[in-house]
């Protein structure tokens, strides 16, 4: 009996120095853990943020992206619906994305300012030309969800 | 609102003074298939040991070492976990203890911080800090995706897989608040590509004009390709020692009077407004009428925190007056302007004046990124913070020319010394600083070096 290769070897790209092509093809199994309500909410057209569950905490505004715990007092958060109408805080256009980008380009990238929310979440503008201060509203990709942050986008309000 | 307490703002101190005794590095290339990562680190360490006019041999130096620090940003790139172990072995340092530091783009700065803590506490008295990155195994698009996996994978990475886009968001907001002309941003790219022309180590030397930058293809509006850092493969090493050991090794140690660290949320999105943390030279009412959220998207709290601690620790009263040379982490032109303000070269909103005044150039008050920086010279991430300190170290030793002007240095890397080479040694430089920076400002260190 002799031991044989069960898979093709590496492609030789250069003889001197010896350079080979090492192909990778694998996946990760990723959990959203305690942040799951946010991603489940997107499938139902809901924008869920979190608020500190400790009534005596100085920070009572909504966090979006959500947090399982308040970063100031570490109390568990409570889930709340965030406003779905807001304005563009800043923007850019993605022209040459990195590998794995799933949207068409050029893609307007935006940071969203929402009343009562102390953070400015990153997202994208699905329609229209962005400008700072522009009124926008949330739209949800519920038909064929990607189960990623790409299921949330914004359009002019 | 982030509220800082007195304990949070306690000024760090070293129990024992810390010195840099030697520095070495490779040249930096987009692709470096001729050498393994171990070979690159051996080359950088050998330069440190053999070319810094030390009073001990390489073998004697190695026998003085009692702890090592390794600096690599991303295992993804090198596709080798525990790469530090192979390098430690290749350098012949087994069975000495070592640690590997990881703080994104600021890994180099934090590795020097880790080494300094070991020396300052008396835990060790001779510590090589070895930085490296092999970014040439994957195509640039995949490289950008790897770098963007250092953004929040739940809420940000999918939105571009591209850090340039995350910086461009900051750039647009900065432009909206402070209206820095595109020409001023372009000048930074022109300067740093230009200084890279006089460095045999540099990957992206270029003589270009402001117009070239303005007409250049955009990666993410408003940042063009010429305004973004390179992706490199290479290594950089420096050696830290306590006072007695330092003078055994060299007659010209340079003192590391401070190296301090600051952080902020990985997601720019999460940065809640707070009161401006004032630097020693900023008057109490300076920001009384400041119109914008701070730090918002226009400023880096991490850089401000690092500068606040480092200036107090090193006794810097006014950075432009007290420093003679500076290396910033110019990952993008916009982040460079932001950093000028964070480290107090100008008040918030007026960073452009540092460029427009000419202070940032060789011959100016505070020459900045004479190495060519990340835009012109290199960004082999784990090596970057060390490379920056190395360049300041040689400047303060008045040895810049030895490592940059000798035609044999150029030949070593298969290059010819250019006809338009400039001597960038800063005469009588006594004090210098280097900024190491990660994420969109998730980690920053500021190091202050002083001639003894
Ligand atoms: Zn709380």
For tokens 């309000």, the residue is A157
pLDDT given for residue B19 in this prediction? 99
pLDDT given for residue B264 in this prediction? 98
- CB B219 to CB A96 under 8 A? yes
B451 pLDDT more than 70:
yes
- Measured between beta carbons, which residues in chain B are less than 8 angstroms from residue A94? 159-160, 162, 165, 220
The two three-digit tokens of residue A97, written as one number? 């994305």
Residues with CB under 5 A from ligand 1 (ion): A 52, 54, 57, 70, 72-73, 75
What's the mean pLDDT in B17-30? Answer: 98
- CB B269 to CB A122 under 8 A? yes
Q: Rounded to the nearest whole angstrom, what is the distance from the C-alpha of residue A134 to the centroid of ligand 1?
A: 31
- CB burial of B83-107 (b: ≥16 within 10 Å; e: otherwise) equals bbeebbebbebeebebebbbbbbbb
Q: Which residue of chain B is at minimal alpha-carbon distance from A71? A: B2
B1 pLDDT more than 60:
no
Instruction: Work out the mean pLDDT of chain B and round it to a whole number.
Output: 97
Dump pLDDT digits (tens) for B156-190: 999 999 999 999 999 999 999 999 999 999 999 99
Confidence of residue B3 (pLDDT cuts 50, 70, 90): confident
Q: Would you list the domain boundaries of chain A? A: 35-156
Distance CA B336, CA B423 (A): 24
- CB B176 to CB A58 under 8 A? no
- Measured between beta carbons, which residues in chain B are less than 8 angstroms from residue A119? 267, 269-272
pLDDT given for residue A1 in this prediction? 85
Beta strands in B8-107 (DSSP E): 19-25, 68-71, 98-101
CA distance, residue B160 to nearest chain A CA (Å): 5
Whether residue B5 lies inside any domain: the answer is no
The two three-digit tokens of residue B268, written as one number? 């720019």
CATH code at position B58: 3.40.47.10
Residue of A109, A71, A116, A65 lying closest to A90 (CA atoms): A109
pLDDT given for residue B132 in this prediction? 98
Q: What is the CA radius of gyration of chain B?
A: 20
Q: Domain containing B115: what range? A: 19-138+232-249
- CB A65 to CB B270 under 8 A? yes
The two three-digit tokens of residue B61, written as one number? 């130096």
- Give the pairing type, strands B19-25 and B254-263: antiparallel
- Measured between beta carbons, which residues in chain B are less than 8 angstroms from residue A150? 158-159
Report the SS3 class of residue A77: strand
Whether residue B219 lies inside any domain: the answer is no
pLDDT given for residue A110 in this prediction? 98
Distance CA B380, CA B233 (A): 5
pLDDT given for residue B221 in this prediction? 86
For tokens 């809901």, the residue is A46
Contact of A107 with A62, CB cutoff 8 Å: no
Whether residue B326 lies inside any domain: the answer is no
CA distance, residue A26 to nearest chain B CA (Å): 14
What's the mean pLDDT in B416-431? Answer: 98
Dump pLDDT digits (tens) for B322-372: 999 999 999 999 999 999 999 999 999 999 999 999 999 999 999 999 999
The two three-digit tokens of residue B142, written as one number? 């995949």
- CB A109 to CB B168 under 8 A? yes
Taking 70 as the pLDDT cut, the residues of chain A under it are: none
Distance CA B94, CA B448 (A): 31
Domain count, chain B: 1
Please, which residues bridge with residue A140 across strands? A152
What's the mean pLDDT in B230-259? Answer: 98
Report the SS3 class of residue A124: strand
Residue of B441, B270, B426 lying closest to B360 (CA atoms): B426
- CB A100 to CB B139 under 8 A? no
Inter-axis angle of helices B37-50 and B83-90, to 10 degrees? Answer: 40
Whether residue B114 lies inside any domain: the answer is yes
What's the mean pLDDT in B87-107? Answer: 98
């Amino acid at each position: 009996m002799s031991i044989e290769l069960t898979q093709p070897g590496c492609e030789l790209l250069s003889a001197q120095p010896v350079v080979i092509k090492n192909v990778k093809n694998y996946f990760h199994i990723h959990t959203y853990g305690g942040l799951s309500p946010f991603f489940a909410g997107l499938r139902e057209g809901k924008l869920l943020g979190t608020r500190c569950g400790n009534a005596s905490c100085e920070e009572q505004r909504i966090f979006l992206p959500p947090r399982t715990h308040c970063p100031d007092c570490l109390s568990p958060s409570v889930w709340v619906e965030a406003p779905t109408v807001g304005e563009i805080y800043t923007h850019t256009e993605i022209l040459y994305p990195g590998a794995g980008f799933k949207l068409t380009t050029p893609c307007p990238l935006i940071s969203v300012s929402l009343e009562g929310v102390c953070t400015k979440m990153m997202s994208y503008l699905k329609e229209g030309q962005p400008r700072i201060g522009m009124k926008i509203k949330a739209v949800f990709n519920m038909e064929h969800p990607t189960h990623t942050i790409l299921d949330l986008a914004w359009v002019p309000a | 609102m982030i509220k800082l307490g007195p304990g949070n703002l306690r000024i760090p101190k070293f129990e024992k003074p810390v010195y840099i005794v030697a520095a070495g590095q490779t040249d930096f290339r987009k692709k470096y298939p001729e050498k393994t990562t171990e070979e690159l680190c051996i080359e950088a360490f050998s330069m440190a040991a053999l070319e810094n006019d030390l009073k001990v041999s390489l073998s004697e130096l190695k026998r003085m070492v009692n702890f090592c620090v390794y600096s690599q940003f991303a295992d993804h790139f090198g596709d080798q976990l525990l790469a530090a172990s192979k390098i430690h072995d290749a350098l012949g340092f087994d069975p000495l203890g070592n640690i590997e530091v990881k703080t994104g783009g600021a890994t180099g700065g934090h590795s020097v911080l880790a080494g300094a803590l070991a020396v300052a506490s008396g835990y060790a008295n001779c510590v090589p800090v070895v930085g490296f990155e092999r970014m040439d195994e994957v195509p640039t698009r995949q490289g950008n995706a790897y770098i963007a996996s250092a953004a929040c994978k739940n809420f940000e990475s999918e939105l571009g897989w591209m850090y340039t886009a995350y910086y461009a968001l900051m750039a647009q907001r900065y432009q909206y608040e402070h209206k820095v002309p595109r020409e001023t941003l372009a000048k930074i790219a022109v300067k740093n590509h230009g200084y890279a022309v006089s460095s045999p180590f540099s990957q992206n030397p270029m003589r270009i004009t402001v117009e070239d930058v303005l007409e250049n293809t955009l990666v993410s509006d408003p940042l063009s390709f010429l305004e973004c850092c390179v992706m490199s493969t290479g290594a950089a090493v420096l050696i830290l020692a306590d006072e007695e050991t330092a003078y055994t090794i060299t007659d010209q140690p340079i003192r590391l009077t401070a190296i301090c660290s600051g952080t902020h949320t990985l997601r720019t999105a999460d940065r809640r407004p707070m009161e401006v943390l004032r630097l020693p030279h900023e008057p109490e009412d300076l920001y009384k009428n400041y119109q914008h959220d701070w730090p918002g998207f226009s400023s880096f709290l991490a850089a401000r925190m690092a500068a606040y601690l480092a200036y107090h620790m090193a006794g810097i009263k006014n950075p432009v007056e007290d420093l003679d040379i500076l290396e910033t982490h110019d990952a993008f032109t916009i982040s460079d302007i932001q950093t000028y303000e964070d480290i107090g070269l100008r008040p918030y909103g007026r960073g452009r004046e540092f460029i427009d005044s000419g202070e940032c150039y060789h011959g100016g008050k505070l020459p900045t990124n004479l190495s060519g920086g990340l835009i012109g010279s290199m960004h082999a991430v784990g090596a970057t913070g060390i490379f920056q300190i190395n360049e300041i170290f040689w400047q303060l030793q008045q040895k810049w020319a030895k490592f940059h002007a000798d035609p044999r240095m150029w030949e070593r890397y298969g290059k010819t010394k250019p006809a338009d080479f400039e001597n960038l040694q800063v005469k009588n430089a006594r004090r210098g600083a280097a900024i190491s920076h990660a994420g969109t400002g998730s980690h920053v260190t500021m190091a202050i070096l002083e001639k003894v």
